[in-house]
Amino acid sequence: MAETAAPHEFVTDTHPAPVDADTRTAMISDPGFGRVFTDHMASVHYHEDKGWHDAKIIPRAPLSLDPATAVLHYAQEIFEGMKAYRLADGSMALFRPEENARRFNESARRMAMPELPDGLFVESVKALVRTDAHWFPPVEGGAIYLRPFMFASEVFLGVKPSAEYRYLVIASPVGGYFKSGAPAIRVWTSEHYTRAAPGGTGAAKCGGNYAASLIAQAEATRHECDQVVFLDAAERRWVEELGGMNLFFLFDDGSIITPPLGGTILPGITRDSIITLAKEAGLTVREEPYAIDQWEADAKSGKLTETFACGTAAVVTPVGKVAGVNGEFTIGAGGPGQLTEKLKSQLVAIQRGDAEDRHGWVHRIE
Ligand code: PLP
Ligand code: COI
């Protein structure tokens, strides 16, 4: 049946035994991040001879993989992270999903994987949200976090791009990303580990980047920090980004710096949106390198008033303290700054349909 479906149409195989309403209510009452999942998933197969085929919404279930499946050996895998929101008028929406589709294909090209048509990407996410629309968590800042991903599924041990791939989307009702719920996070500057080198995979959202970051993230956790700050691989001097978020630095003259996209940091969609909103608010935004010692000096002199991290999962999160082997420094009063809060509330208001969507960022799910 599914084989005959048009490529952008998802045939739905409804779950025979979905989670019952009472259990679901309990599961989504305080979901945290990435631990609760909905009943279904989107699935599309790729074979180099057939292209993309068999687009379906199916019951979410464990995968059965041959031990020689290519992804298990050479990590040919990419993913995206985006959220579906329940708006005040009861409708559902995505935020700039075509940007996630575009970045997914940039990641695919870097990892020698086939591109997925943008329309198929966006429809996969929409079809899944429509099917599992009763899973929105009734919590402050709640959303359904969507995780589209693709992996090499050929059973073969030779080192070459796989001939077969599986694309899936899973959905997770979420609240805030940080467990601590503290008003500002504390970050750890990694001395030894870098995330991405020029010519590497830093701008791709591939699983391997995150695998390589875990030891540094674990070091951060050991030092009671929430996230790791990565410096550039060549000079160990320029601040690049956090393990899973981009960074913005705010100054007392109303200007803002964010590290430039040069292939070693992830081109965040939240980052891009914040740049637009800040410029509209009359702020000067400079995409330029910012050194770790300058960050400390500017925080100590008061020239730097605020720093925040941003991303789909973290939204906009103030950075209060920066720690490292040589001690720590505090930004502003160590809590959320005024401009950070203003930019955050502007962004969230657009995402949730509470402010005018002047840029056509909000994509309703009919
Ligand atoms: N940087 C990294 C390493 C990330 O994993 C993410 C999250 O996706 C971001 C930045 C922020 O990207 P976005 O705003 O598109 O979620
Ligand atoms: C996201 O924000 O979507 C990410 O992938 C980052 C990760 C820390 C969950």
From CA 30, how far away is CA 269, in angstroms rounded? 26
- pLDDT value at residue 272: 98
Q: How far is the CA of 268 from the centre of ligand 1 (A)?
A: 5
Best substitution site from 177, 179, 247 to test ligand 2's pocket, by max atoms within 8 Å of Cβ?
177
Q: Which atom of ligand 1 is nearest to the CA of 81?
A: 8
Task: Please state, in angstroms and rounded to a whole number, the distance separating the CA atoms of residues 233 and 236.
Answer: 6
Q: Is the CB of 196 under 6 A from ligand 1?
A: no
Residue 85 contacts residue 95 (beta carbons within 8 Å): yes
pLDDT at 181: 72
In this prediction the pTM is: 0.96
Q: Which residues pair with 174 in a beta bridge?
A: 143
The token pair at 208 is 């391997």
The token pair that represents 366 in the structure block: 């009919």
pLDDT confidence of residue 6: 55
Q: Per residue of the chain (366 residues), give pLDDT as tens.
A: 333 445 578 999 999 999 999 999 999 999 999 999 999 999 999 999 999 999 999 999 999 999 999 999 999 999 999 999 999 899 999 999 999 999 999 999 999 999 999 999 999 999 999 999 999 999 999 999 999 999 999 999 999 999 999 999 999 999 989 877 788 999 999 989 999 999 999 999 999 999 999 999 999 999 999 999 999 999 999 999 999 999 999 999 999 999 999 999 999 999 999 999 999 999 999 999 999 999 999 999 999 999 999 999 999 999 999 999 999 999 999 999 999 999 999 999 999 999 999 999 999 998
Contact 307, 248 (CB under 8 A): yes
Report pLDDT for 176.
86
- Nearest ligand (C-alpha, residue 269): 1
At position 46, the amino acid (one-letter code) is Y
Q: Ligand 2: does its nearest atom lie under 6 Å from the Cβ of 312?
A: yes
Q: Is the CB of 334 under 6 A from ligand 1?
A: no
Nearest-10 crossing angle of helices 269-280, 97-110: 130
**Binding site membership of 312 for ligand 1 (Cβ less than 6 Å):** yes
Q: Cα(50) to centroid of ligand 2, in Å?
A: 32
Q: Which atom of ligand 2 is nearest to the CA of 82?
A: 3
Q: Is 311 in the pocket of ligand 2 (CB under 6 A)?
A: yes
Q: Is the CB of 268 under 6 A from ligand 1?
A: yes
Quote the Cα angle for 48-53-59, to 5°. 130
Strands 327-330 and 362-365: unpaired
Question: How far does residue 34's CA lie from ligand 2's centre (Å)?
Answer: 10
| Beta-strand runs (E) in the chain | 11-12, 40-47, 51-59, 77-79, 82-86, 92-95, 143-152, 164-174, 185-189, 227-231, 239-242, 246-251, 255-258, 284-287, 304-311, 315-324, 327-330, 362-365
6 Cα to the center of ligand 2, angstroms: 31
Please give the number of the atom of ligand 2 that sits closest to the Cα of 313: 2
Ligand 2, atom 7, lies closest to the CA of: 244
pLDDT at residue number 7: 56
- All domains of the chain, ordered by start, with CATH? 11-174 (3.30.470.10), 185-351 (3.20.10.10)
Ligand 1 centre distance from Cα of residue 260 (Å): 14
- Distance from C-alpha of 236 to C-alpha of 202, rounded to nearest angstrom: 15
Q: What is the model's pLDDT at position 29?
A: 96
| CA 89 to ligand 1 center in whole angstroms | 28
- Which ligand has the shortest distance to the CA of 240? 1
The angle formed by the CA atoms of residues 97, 99 and 104, to the nearest 5 degrees, is 100
